[in-house]
Amino acid sequence: MMDGTFVTAMKQGFAVPVAITDQDGKKRIFSPGYADVTPKRPVVSPLVFNTLTGLVGYLSTNVDALVLTKCMVHVKNENTVKVRSLLGTESKDYERHCFALATTALMGDGFKFGVYHDAETFVVGLMTQFVQTARRDEIITLVSSIKESAVRETVDTGVSQTVQTAGGVVLVGTTKVPNPVVLQPYRTFRDVTQPEGLFVLRLQSGREGEKPRCGLFEADGGAWRLDAVHSIAVKISKLLAEYKVSVAVLG
């Protein structure tokens, strides 16, 4: 018959957690022989916006009563902006919370560079994924007027290509593909000016009976990203100037 002696003996064998107050007045709970088991403070998931306007609106209305002078807007890259707290004191474990962020990920994929598209997909991409400019319209007109399988690779110099284009219904002429071309694809937040980029336009003969395939290849070494980040930082700085929020441009 069990009289509780065994249970009492087992209980005495377990280590009892001990609460210790450190020099900063922080109470930690330790279990002898084990690691610190102090409960961690919960971290709230940040609000997510798909525009800079939404992010700025959140900060200007300050519905969460943040101390804005102790917040930092971190422009991480052309697609991500975060609102973070500044580094805390030692008693706060040097915490840096992310309260909100804006990202273009919610807007879907943009135009695919570095690959060849069929003529129809290429033209639609130019019309929907690029800012309307005279150069963009010239390329749309050029591609739309190319006769089926008309790319003349024999006169491809590596810098420009000559293609046969249909003039009206019957006439056929030759047109040089301009290179490089300056275009403004949508590659950052829509509420800032889209940075210009240099591109090489290339055409590739399609299968028999089909129009040539077209591709755009980036030719500026990614310099447009610096312009995009700068535009984002300038816009946010102007809109939040009265709130004294720090804006940091960090890669």
pLDDT for 38 beyond 90: no
Q: What is the pLDDT of residues 171-180, one digit of tens each?
A: 344 566 668 8
From 213, 206, 242, 243, select the one nearest 116 (Cα to Cα). Answer: 213
With a CB cutoff of 8 Å and minimum separation 6, the contacts of 40 are none
- Per-residue pLDDT at 203: 85
pTM: 0.71
At how many degrees (to 10) do helices 134-145 and 119-129 cross? 160
With a CB cutoff of 8 Å and minimum separation 6, the contacts of 51 are 102, 189, 190, 191
Q: What is the pLDDT of residues 185-233, one digit of tens each?
A: 999 999 999 999 999 998 887 777 677 889 999 998 989 999 999 999 9
Give whole-number Cα distances, 45 to 61, 74, 97, in Å: 19, 17, 9
- Per-residue pLDDT at 107: 76
With contact defined as beta carbons under 8 Å apart, do 148 and 166 qualify? no
